[in-house]
């Protein structure tokens, strides 16, 4: 608590993913041999054709402020992508390009929430949802799930969590951190509950859309009776290995898109112009252009799942998408490892960092205090070595 700072920032938690990434970087700089499985960031380089579009944008002298909600040809590429991949039809006035999906999500909570509004977060949820809600005055309401039900929320649990103050529900599918993917049938069952509460807005975070090992991706917005109150959040960070280029976008009801545009106009203006030009190349390409990365993630999922299943006290589901695995490690609570008491997932994650030199993220940050998150967007060698080290320090 620093009295010089606002209550707003004092009450905000630091992003656990970015904090662990910073700590990993710091330890590596000090010469420690840390394997980072904390950050959700592909280890691939950006496909050549996207880099070339970025280089061309510099050579073509893109330099001035872009439209706040994105270049019109980027919006067209997004519209075509939505039509091609999701069978969703949007007008340019329904699209807003932002500085990452993170800003897109932040815009949404800022424009939709009033003080005291409740936001349903099926847990585990992505780390920034809860703090973004609180920043906007909202109250996050977790709906818990467990490894046994594949970390998916049931229609009954959703119904029970709704109150007259519920304004939003935010979830990701494929899910960060659990890797779970809602099938069309499961989403329809949730939609059947939501249709009875027409004032609740759905924020469907689909940033891992292409990293899906299960089959066809479904968006809540595809249901005709949900389209008018669903905001689809997506971006180029994950599937195109463009995390640092910072381009995300939404497809939304027009009144929501207009408000996001207004918010962004006062906070950042339009997203980086070079990255916007590169994003056009990424989104216009056939998704087959990035299949090699998806295949590699699928292979790594198998590898990490097999290796973890061999460690005592690690309970996992089978992730069906994204590049995370979220083992329940509560077996270790109350135990002492190498003289260190393990009472929480944070204790366990810190123990792995200190003793195994493997960086993970505590499940508390994702609303599940029994788990830790490991990102397998790392090389197979790193995955093998990391899990070997973890096994050594927990089983001895």
Count Cβ atoms below 10 Å from residue 244 Cβ, excluding itself.
10
Count Cβ atoms below 10 Å from residue 303 Cβ, excluding itself.
15
Interacting partner of 132 out of ligand GLU, ligand PMP, none (Cβ under 5 to 8 A depending on kind): none
DSSP 213: S
Contact pick of 12, 15, 56, 191 for ligand GLU (by CB under 6 A): 15
State the nearest-atom distance from the C-beta of 218 to ligand PMP, in Å: 16
Stretch that binds ligand GLU, among 10-18, 136-144, 182-190, 210-218 (CB under 6 A): 10-18
Q: Residue 18 interacts with ligand GLU (CB under 6 A)?
A: yes
Helix H or strand E encompassing 138: none
Alpha helices in 11-71 (DSSP H): 16-29, 48-59
Which CB, 101 or 221, lies closer to ligand PMP?
Answer: 101
User: How far apart are alpha carbons 225 and 348 in whole angstroms?
Assistant: 44
Lay out the site mask for ligand GLU across 75-114 (x = CB under 6 A, - = otherwise): ---------------------------x------------
Does residue 234 sit in helix, strand or coil? strand
Characterize 44-82 residue by residue with b for buried, 16 or more Cβ atoms within 10 angstroms of its Cβ, and e for exposed: eebbeebeebbeebeeeebeeebebbbbeebbbbbbebb
Whole-number CA gyration radius for the chain = 21
Does residue 71 sit in helix, strand or coil? coil
State the nearest-atom distance from the C-beta of 342 to ligand PMP, in Å: 27
Contact 370, 328 (CB under 8 A): yes
Lay out the site mask for ligand GLU across 33-72 (x = CB under 6 A, - = otherwise): ------xx--------------------------------
Interacting partner of 101 out of ligand PMP, ligand GLU, none (Cβ under 5 to 8 A depending on kind): ligand PMP
Which CB, 40 or 138, lies closer to ligand GLU?
Answer: 40
Q: Residue 19 interacts with ligand GLU (CB under 6 A)?
A: no
Does the bond joining 304 to the residue before it have cis omega, within 30 degrees of 0? no
Contacting ligand GLU within 155-214 (CB under 6 A): 176
Task: Tell me how many degrees the CA angle 132-137-143 measures, rounded to the nearest 5.
Answer: 65
Residues of this chain that interact with ligand PMP (CB under 6 A) are: 40, 100-102, 126, 172, 176, 205, 207, 235, 237, 243, 248
State the nearest-atom distance from the C-beta of 201 to ligand PMP, in Å: 17
Q: Which residues bind ligand GLU (CB under 6 A)?
A: 15, 17-18, 39-40, 102, 127-128, 176
């Amino acid at each position: 608590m620093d009295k010089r700072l606002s209550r707003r920032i004092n009450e905000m938690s630091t992003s656990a993913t970015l904090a662990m990434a910073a700590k990993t970087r710091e330890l590596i700089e000090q010469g420690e041999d840390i394997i980072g499985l904390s950050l959700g960031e592909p280890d691939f380089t950006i496909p050549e054709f996207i880099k070339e579009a970025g280089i061309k944008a510099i050579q073509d002298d893109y330099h001035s402020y872009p439209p706040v909600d994105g270049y019109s040809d980027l919006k067209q590429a997004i519209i075509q992508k939505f039509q091609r991949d999701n069978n969703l039809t949007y007008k340019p006035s329904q699209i807003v390009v932002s500085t990452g999906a993170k800003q897109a999500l932040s815009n949404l909570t800022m424009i939709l929430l009033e003080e005291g509004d409740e936001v349903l977060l099926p847990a585990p949820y992505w780390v920034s949802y809860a703090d973004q809600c609180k920043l906007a005055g909202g109250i996050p309401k977790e709906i818990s799930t467990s490894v046994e039900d594949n970390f998916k929320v049931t229609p009954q649990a959703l119904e029970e969590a709704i109150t007259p103050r519920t304004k939003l529900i935010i979830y990701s599918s494929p899910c960060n951190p659990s890797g779970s993917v809602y099938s069309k049938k499961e989403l329809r069952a949730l939609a059947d509950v939501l249709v009875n509460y027409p004032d609740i807005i759905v924020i469907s975070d689909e940033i891992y859309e292409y990293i899906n090992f299960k089959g066809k991706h479904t968006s809540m917005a595809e249901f005709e009776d949900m389209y008018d109150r669903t905001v689809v959040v997506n971006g180029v960070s994950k599937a195109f290995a463009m995390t640092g280029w910072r381009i995300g976008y939404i497809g939304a009801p027009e009144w929501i898109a207009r408000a996001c545009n207004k918010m962004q106009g006062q906070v950042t203006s339009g997203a980086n112009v070079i990255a916007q030009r590169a994003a056009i190349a990424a989104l216009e390409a056939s998704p087959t252009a990035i299949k090699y990365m998806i295949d590699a993630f699928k292979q790594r999922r198998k590898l990490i799942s097999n290796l973890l299943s061999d460690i005592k006290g690690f309970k996992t589901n089978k992730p069906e998408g994204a590049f995370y695995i979220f083992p329940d490690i509560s077996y270790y609570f109350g135990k002492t490892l190498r003289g260190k008491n393990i009472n929480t997932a944070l204790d366990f994650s810190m123990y792995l960092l200190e003793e195994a030199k493997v960086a993970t993220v505590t499940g508390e940050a994702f609303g599940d205090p029994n788990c830790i998150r490991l990102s397998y967007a790392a090389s197979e060698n790193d995955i093998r070595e990391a899990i070997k080290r973890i096994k050594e320090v927990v089983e001895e």
